[in-house]
Amino acid sequence: SSQDLSEEFAEAARQLKKEAPGIQFGKIDVTHQHDLRKEFNIQAFPTVKFFVNGSREDPIDCKGVRKASTFITWVKRRTGPSTVLINSTDQAEAIIKADDLAVIGFFRELHNDSVEVFCETARDVPEMPFGMTTSGDVCANYGIQGNSLVVFKKGKPVHNEVLEDGRQNKLGLTRLIKTFTLDLVTEYNIETSVKIFDVPVENHILLFTPTNSETFNEIYENYQSAAAEFRGQILFVLVDTNEARNGRIFEYFRIRDIDVPAVRILNLTSDAKYKMPADEVTMENLKEFCQSYLDGKAKQHLPSEKIPQDWDKMPVKVLVGKNFNSIIF
């Protein structure tokens, strides 16, 4: 909520006052400041913007940051180095083991496009520590050759992304790394819904199924395997249809008991929904569905009402999705 964020924001201001007195924190109630709201195009609340060098042109949006500690990291990475330079294996281990998640960049040299993209990505992901190294000993210790970004979870490497000069997309890397703050498949509930929307991946796939069904384990395994292949591009969500509190999400996707297990893709930007054409939740069907969606070949799913029995009894015919094409065309 705005109140919670306001308190965390104030806490960050208190802590940074001693460490970085040059950074000023301010709060605006735009309900009374219409000119400022218009000038900075404030659409959602709360919105946090960072103004650099006294300029009111092009402030930087600070999105998805909710805790005081993350605000502090975000600001520090914007005003100073965004990553720690690692010179020894002991130093690397200390960073990897200090938190649940850590990201380390292994590079041949410090001056290339990959390093620049890595440092820019670190600025946008204040939730986890970032370090980088060119030390041959450190690279050899983790068996890494060349330019790579490695995500560590609970001290173990869980993802290795080879960084090729000029080819890496900062937004793509940011999305990929932020997905590690969630499980490979995230079960939808009140607590996780906020986290799901904080990860900047606009494509969500949802599996609607009862988690106590006989076929659940097999379906879930297939779903997890597909999730590993599309990490960073599509966020995989599980919705338990036995959970009464999930009723609103069933209504939103118009899922009925007879439809489950059902698989849908939602594009958060356009609000477009897509239905998996196949009935069976196999790994092949899931992969084909995800790929056809990413290639722009999937057909949008527009749920239709049932055709009313008396649709043609009156001079003005009643049309719904199911009979629209056949009657009009």
Task: Check whether residue 261 and residue 287 sit in a common domain.
Answer: yes
What gap in Å lies between CA 1 and CA 256, rounded to an integer? 32
Task: Check whether residue 16 and residue 61 sit in a common domain.
Answer: yes
Task: Check whether residue 17 and residue 119 sit in a common domain.
Answer: no
Task: Check whether residue 126 and residue 64 sit in a common domain.
Answer: no
Task: Check whether residue 219 and residue 275 sit in a common domain.
Answer: yes
* Final residue belonging to a domain, choices 61, 79, 97: 79
pLDDT in the model for residue 90:
97
* Final residue belonging to a domain, choices 127, 143, 178: 178
Task: Check whether residue 188 and residue 284 sit in a common domain.
Answer: yes
Write down the pTM of the prediction. 0.81
What gap in Å lies between CA 168 and CA 289, rounded to an integer? 26
What gap in Å lies between CA 163 and CA 118, rounded to an integer? 9
Task: Check whether residue 221 and residue 191 sit in a common domain.
Answer: yes
The token pair at 270 is: 């356009």
Task: Check whether residue 194 and residue 290 sit in a common domain.
Answer: yes
Task: Check whether residue 196 and residue 166 sit in a common domain.
Answer: no
Task: Check whether residue 285 and residue 194 sit in a common domain.
Answer: yes
Give residue-wise pLDDT tens across range 4-40: 888 999 999 999 988 888 888 888 888 888 888 888 8
Task: Check whether residue 191 and residue 273 sit in a common domain.
Answer: yes
C-alpha closest to that of 267 among 289, 240, 234, 297: 234
- The answer to whether 115 and 105 are in contact (CB under 8 A) is yes
Q: How many CA atoms lie within 13 A of 61 on its CB side?
A: 10
Task: Check whether residue 75 and residue 7 sit in a common domain.
Answer: yes
- Tokens 């009862």 locate to 210
Per-residue pLDDT of the chain (329 residues; tens, 9 = 90+): 678 888 999 999 999 988 888 888 888 888 888 888 888 888 877 889 999 888 888 899 888 888 899 999 999 999 899 999 999 999 999 999 999 999 999 999 988 889 999 999 999 999 999 999 999 999 999 999 879 999 999 999 999 999 876 566 888 899 999 999 999 999 999 888 888 988 889 999 999 999 999 999 999 999 999 999 999 999 999 999 999 888 888 888 888 888 889 999 999 988 899 999 999 999 999 999 999 999 999 998 876 566 677 767 877 777 765 566 566 54
Which secondary-structure segment (H or E) carries 79? helix 68-79
What gap in Å lies between CA 176 and CA 161, rounded to an integer? 10
* Final residue belonging to a domain, choices 26, 47, 79: 79
First vs last Cα of the chain: how many Å apart? 49
pLDDT in the model for residue 326:
61
Total count of domains within the chain: 4
Domain range for residue 321?
303-328
CATH of residue 94 = 3.40.30.10
